[in-house]
Chain A
Amino acid sequence: MNSVKNYINGTWSDSETQEFGEVWCPATGEKIAHVPFSTAAEVDQAAQAAKNAYWDWRCTPPLTRARYLFKLKDLFEKNFEDIARTLVTEEGKTLDEARGEVRRMIENVEHATGVTTLMTGYNLEDIAQGIDCTAERQPIGVFGAIVPFNFPAMVAWWFLPYAVVTGNTFIVKPSEQVPLTQTRIFEVVDDCGFPEGVVNMVHGAKDVVNAMLHHPDIKGISFVGQSATARYIYKTCGETGKRVQALGGAKNFLLVMPDADLDTGMPSIITSFYGCAGERCLSGSVLVAVGDVYARLKEKFVAAASALKVGNGLEEGVQMGPVISKKHQEKVLGYIEKGIKEGAKLILDGRGIKVPGYPNGFYIGPTVFDQVDPGMTIAREEIFGPVVSLVRVKNLDEGIRLMQKSEYGNAACLYTTSGKTAREFKYRVPASMIGINLGIAAPMAFFPFGGAKGSFFGDIKGHGREIVQFYTDTKVVIQRWT
């Protein structure tokens, strides 16, 4: 069985470690590869390679650096389908979802090619008599990204293109659950011909994370994952003096007003909750019915959820794949049990779903709880699976108060035909990504991605224009020649 390799200083290498993890195909329940839990010494090798490559790369004109990304974009287009299929095999999402993810990855590369505009500073003559001032953006050094399982291709590329195009060098640590996709992507990166050491990849788990957090030559960390880990990453980077952006978990509310157009909105409401089997930080989790929309919403939602085709994501036409692992499947099933115990009414039961041909896959069918009290565990904690809590409130105000009480603040969505209601919602809701009449409020590459409250630790979010600030220092130069 294959074991993936690290990519350090432009060379593929086997880890020296004796510890390995297993990589599974969630659709079939089969083991498909091994992943090395690389050592701190290997992180150091990557950091040294990145550090050695830094100065020459930093002195390379931004437009020349951007040309590597133009070439990389073309190579990604050529390898698009293969990357998407690799992703489905190890992550389990559907082929359409995987293609959408790879598309978003490429969009970040495309956006980063605008470095000659994005990275410019500013200046002012005569800040005092005969004295001029410029503010210039300079790269900083070696950066790293620690990325999650649920978007094995895309998330590393929320960061890498911007870090590299602004003149930094980079180390990626993919999730140990899904190392194959990023490995396939780095094969393409290798073909692109970046100078040795500019981009590096080290596979592993906790030891690699801690080695990156404590390495003196790594100047900043981008992280996406669970909130508890995000908090730890943020704290540790604070202690070790690194820049940090740590994106955490979510508990997203999707609120439906009585005036909402349910027929138009239902496909996107369903996609919000069950797309990627509920394993995304923008997924809806709590469906909030305002006033008398409750009965209509429940009926249409359950009918649409029941009609979803669950199966192996490689088969076109499948609308929802399995969850990532047996362990995660058990965790989600545990939440369903907890919901029942705490008194919620299970009106669509996804437990025990049979997918023909894949008896060992990690499947959970669409699941809906009705009569969910906001204090119940299933309405408060991140489940990260296809489990929906239907909560009924009297009015918009009560719905917004639910979101204000949540410890998370990633995304929130509203369905309405009233502009006034939409304005009040986006104005008051304490989440950072707001969707109006859409269920996945996913900022594209040219807008910032990240939440609020327990969903985000840091200040500069992923991609968007702001990301350039994360990867550069603003040097102010004050000059007098008279």
Chain B
Amino acid sequence: MELGTFGAVMGFAAQLVVQSADFYATASAATKNATLESLLQSLAQDARKDVATMEQTRRENVTEMILEPIAGLVREDYAIGLQPPGADAEIVQTGLRLEERDQKFFRDASARVPLPEVARVFRKTAQRKEQNISRLRALAAAVG
């Protein structure tokens, strides 16, 4: 389904980061690896901040004068079905999939949303996702 409105794009952005936040919270409780647990708690905290940022961005940037349809963003392109957290290696791999998915969405959406401030927030979020990917990759070798 196409995310054809500003609200739909912002709502979906919030859903994505909520999914990530929930996963990291659950996974950090499941792992016995202290390093991984610390990283997952940090990622969960970042993702929760992202949720607040998305809600604030939606609230402050909705512009009644130019609520024009938005084209080219399809929900299914970014959907990831998640299993309950398994072994540490699987947790890291799932985290990478989520971060790569989020990064792709925010990069794609920044080019589609015609509001500079929203696009800036999306680009900045995509950049942080890039850093998260590096953090997870650095740990991937350690957890096998």
Contact = CB atoms under 8 A, between A and B. Distances in A.
A103 B4 contact: no
A97 B8 CA distance: 12
Contacts of A442: 64-65
B67 interface: yes
Contact of B8 (A104, A271, A317): A317
B90 interface: no
Nearest to A76: B59
A472 interface: no
Contacts, number: 64
B59 A81 contact: yes
Given A97-B67, A100-B67, A267-B68, A316 B60 contact: no
Contacts of A275: 67
Nearest to A80: B59
Interface residues of B, number: 20
A271 B6 CA distance: 13
Given A268-B68, A440-B66, 12 more contacts: A77-B59, A100-B62, A268-B66, A270-B69, A271-B67, A271-B69, A309-B4, A316-B11, A317-B5, A319-B69, A442-B64, A442-B65
Nearest to B63: A100
Given A96-B67, A270-B69, A317 B4 contact: yes
- By CB atoms of chain A within 10 A, which of B6, B59, B65, B69 has the most? B65
A99 B7 contact: yes
Interface in A296-351: 309, 316-319
A381 interface: no
A316 B62 CA distance: 14
A132 interface: no
B60 to A, nearest CB: 7
A101 interface: yes
21 contacts: A77-B59, A80-B59, A96-B5, A96-B6, A97-B64, A99-B7, A99-B62, A103-B59, A268-B68, A271-B66, A317-B5, A317-B7, A318-B5, A319-B4, A319-B5, A319-B69, A440-B64, A440-B66, A442-B64, A442-B65, A444-B65
Contacts of A172: none
Nearest to B70: A267
B58 interface: yes
A354 B63 CA distance: 29
B119 interface: no
Nearest to A317: B8
Contacts of B6: 96
Contacts of A317: 1, 3-5, 7-8
